[in-house]
Structure 1
């Protein structure tokens, strides 16, 4: 039971020289490559003397040129010659030398060749099958990395042959099955000899004599077609195997016939002259190897001498450095006194800085408290404005389409949103403001904005024109409130600084990606323009550009909020302006047009807020206007409510009447909403408590949890949100 050697790497090797030769500009490498090509061709013809001679010359040239890659290939060919003519230890020695150099230059192709060759010598020569299989698998790994089907085929043939050699047919046959189709279609004679002879061996082991003879005869047929000297050694082994097969089945005539063919080929291939050529060539190569080692030792001695000289210089330099360090040490001692005084001054400065830091933190805390207070004081009256507007719309259906009432409601909602954003400008920077998905029509939204700014437009005798591209879908999904804020800020600026002019609002589709419409918006005016040196400042916080007059008022946050909101939409914005001619602000926003998303949002909005059962609600609120708004809002939607002015009245009433929910104001005199809620819970009452407050939810979240309040709704709010919250909590 034997394995078959594979020399595909020699053929591939020779071809690689032909392809790479013209591209190599180094004359020594060209020379070495040509020598290796000739060595490979000679080896295929079993002209060992010439093959070793060429490989040796290539090795010498590569060594002089410090070309480790060429040297590794030369060692590969030298090892092949020794292996073929039975000096296996020397073959292993030269393969390993080549593998060291191939690893050094990290050439996976050559590493694959050398691992396959080491596998051959260990397995084919029956030295160590396990070690051989390990090298074969390492070679297969590199073949797979390069996706080279030809090399993968031979690697698997080698591994299968190795397993067969130790009669491990179950592991070996899978490798032959893997490559059978490829060999039959694309394989060369050598691979077909190997595949068929091994299948013969496999079926022989199963005592399937008919199949075994069929595959052996196929292998013999391919051997007869072969004219490569090197592959004749494989043919010799095939004749030997089929002779043994016929002997086993007692067909002695055929057994004798193929045994004679085996002996004849053996005598022809491994004659005395070739064996002597290998020995002579090997001695010369070993002699050269010894000379190279001697040269290497000489070089190392020269390097050591250079290092010794460098060490002497280093010692001198070290002495100079030591002297300089002593001078520095004396200087350091002298400077330490100066530094000690500086440290005292630094400590005093640090104390002053800590005091300043504490004052800054105190100022920051006061600012936060101020923002929270202002937020509450502004939202409370806004609740009244928004609520009364809703009441008018509910009670006077004939005013539903009134442009004045629409403008009032829009302005109230916008004012609320504007107040929130001005007070949260730093939270926007910290990405704490989240956009909401709403369904809207861009033409309608722009028209409402235009109408709401009508009085500001006629103040300076301006006109607003809207141009919307027909390619924009009828219905879009996005945060229309934030979009309105952007337009109102931009249009307000244009109207303030334009006289007897016009402002054009344009919207057109710039790009469509899936369901996302990237829409370019432009606000164009022919006003007084912005000076070039101020154009980069207008988006900064609290910056007001005083253009021709000094009476323009504002917070200096309008365009800052615009830029932050555009960035929240993941859009872009830029400004173009020329003094005396006008300003154009262009921004692009991605807005969704997904129909399923639109339907989902519409379905969510279509909440049935009608009350099937009678809900009784306790309203705890000290502000009379808010009492009226909340009561009317609830009663108009079939809720029954009781109103008290403070927490103590609420505590008395909850003992007497069962309520479905309690709407609790937070900022009340006598006793606040938090303390009232705690006392209600202490009574064991589990009625849902909904905090209806002008405070920002994030500012009171911890107190909400501590007071066991179930939900928070920030004033002003949409009525349906309150109704759905009541129904959800009272179930």
Structure 2
């Protein structure tokens, strides 16, 4: 009986342990299901959030593209008409009002470009170019371009360029100019009756790489120490006494991102009431064989006084007038039509040397018009004149059969050069 009781007791204990283990397993299973359901719901929420973020990014890109297009279109008219006034009325060459109008147009255009630039950098769409450049020429170009701001604030721009820097280097001169332009314009805006110094010195040389140190130093109001950490953030405006030409707060953010693209870093030192100094170092290739190769591949302008017949396809009346003036200034014969169908009809009636095609038009856009022209077997050069960003439409433009793309507003000399090169290439 004692043995039986012990055995029964052990069996009961064993059964109780088994029941307890089964209960724990049951609870764990329920808990695991809850966790799995929770994780699945959270994963679904994350996927939805990801889709919304991607959609928001697309909408942002589309919004910036649309806004830039809508601003560039009237800016083409403003810049073109101010140039026409300068050409037709020489007495207005030194007019402060006309100069102010030109500056305002350039300033607004720079804001549009800044928005596009910051968006491209964030989406990793900016690729550095490798072209031959002269550091002294780039610095002098920046200084001359900002002479209006310097005069307005009674500032003096001083350039110091190390003579040991090689005459020709290989690098992205456009991005370098953007960096310097933003830094120098900021320095000039917030300096009164002072000076802004642009310095370039040979920091060191490693094999064929020349490390050039650039400095932009001003004698302006300076930046408070508490603000130094945030001046490179987007859309940030630190507290200033002057509220003129504050801008959108994108300039220094673009500078930092562009310097980073060069594989470098920008530094700032400032003292309130005494001025600010920015410096950064960029490596450029000084290999003479690469420099000579790039120079030899630069197309030579073989322009002559030949008169071309140009068909302009543009629906905006003001832009029609501006483009006509550019053509007439070069003694080109011009016919203007309002839409793509009218362009096709004009090409069927008489010969032209080149077509200047707008992209965003009613009835039929520039891409579809170009495709119809190519289907008819016409090999006439077609140049897209558009307010869209070049990288957004270039692929579609060339696939449609266009030969070149120019972004409004553009330098008239670029358009004339493109016309002459394309027409000569077709006739050769």
Judge same fold: TM > 0.5, yes or no.
yes
Give me the whole-angstrom Cα distance separating, in 2, the residues matched to 1:403 and 1:447: 23
Higher mean alpha-carbon deviation, 344-353 vs 373-382, is at 344-353
SS in 2 for 1:658: coil
Indicate whether 1:359 and 2:52 are aligned.
yes
Instruction: Choose from 224, 234, 255 the match for 1:541.
Output: 234
Deviates more, 1:386-395 or 1:532-541: 386-395
With a CA cutoff of 8 Å and minimum separation of 6, indicate the structure with the bigger relative contact order.
Answer: 2
Distance 1:395 1:593 in 2: 45
| CA distance 1:482–1:341, change in 2 (3 Å) | closer
Is it true that 1:467 corresponds to 2:160 in the alignment?
A: yes
Alignment partners' CA distance in 2, 1:570 and 1:544: 26
- Residue of structure 1 equivalent to 2:364: 671
Alignment gaps of 5+ in structure 2: 1-16
Aligned residue in 2 for 1:610: 304
Bigger radius of gyration among the two: 1
Question: Does 2:30 align with 1:333?
Answer: no
- What TM-score do you get using the length of structure 2 for normalisation? 0.76
**What residue in structure 1 maps to residue 392 of structure 2?**
699
CA contact (8 A) 1:619 1:662 kept: yes
5 Å-filtered alignment, 1:24-423, equals: 331-384=24-77, 387=80, 416=109, 419-423=112-116
- The alpha-carbon deviation at position 403 of structure 1 amounts to 12
CA distance in 2, matches of 1:611, 1:458: 38
Which residue does the alignment assign to 1:687? 380
The 1:714/1:723 distance shift into structure 2, 3 A limit, reads farther
Any stretches of 5+ residues in structure 1 without a counterpart?
1-323
Q: Of 626, 642, 659, which aligns to 2:335?
A: 642
- Partner deviation per Cα, 1:664-710 (whole Å, 9 max, x = no partner): 11111232222323333444444343322122233235643664434
Q: Secondary structure at the match of 1:585?
A: strand
* Cα separation, 2, equivalents of 1:602 and 1:411: 38
Task: Give per-residue Cα distances to partners, 1:267-307, cap 9 Å, x unaligned.
Answer: xxxxxxxxxxxxxxxxxxxxxxxxxxxxxxxxxxxxxxxxx
Aligned residues: 406
Q: What TM-score does the superposition give when structure 1 sets the normalisation length?
A: 0.48
The residue number in structure 2 matching 1:631 is 324
| Residue number among 434, 438, 462 corresponding to 2:128 in the alignment | 434
Do the aligned partners of residues 399 and 553 (structure 1) sit closer, same or farther apart at CA in structure 2, a change above 3 Å counting? Answer: closer
**Residue 520 of structure 1 is aligned with which of 210, 213, 219?**
213
Q: Would you say 1:601 and 2:305 are equivalent positions? A: no
- The change in CA–CA distance for 1:388 and 1:605 in structure 2 (over 3 A counts) is farther
Q: Distance in 1 between matches of 2:83 and 2:133?
A: 21
> Which is further off, 654-663 or 633-642?
633-642
Aligned partners of 1:407 and 1:451 also within 8 Å? no
Shift of 1:559: 1.0
**Inter-partner Cα distance in structure 1 for 2:404 and 2:352:** 16
Of 388-397 and 718-727, deviating more is 388-397
Counterparts in 2 of 1:421 and 1:601: CA distance versus 1, 3 Å = farther
Q: Distance in 1 between matches of 2:299 and 2:97?
A: 25
Partner residue of 2:425? 728
Aligned-pair CA distance for 1:607: 0.9
Q: Is the 8 A contact 2:130 2:170 kept in 1?
A: no
Distance 1:619 1:547, change over 3 A: closer
Assess, with a 3 A threshold, how the Cα gap between structure 1 residues 527 and 437 changes in structure 2: closer, same or farther.
Answer: same
Q: CA offsets per residue over residues 471-512 of structure 1, 9 Å max, x none?
A: 345565554443332222112322344445433222222224
- Name the structure with the higher strand share: 2
Higher helix share: 1
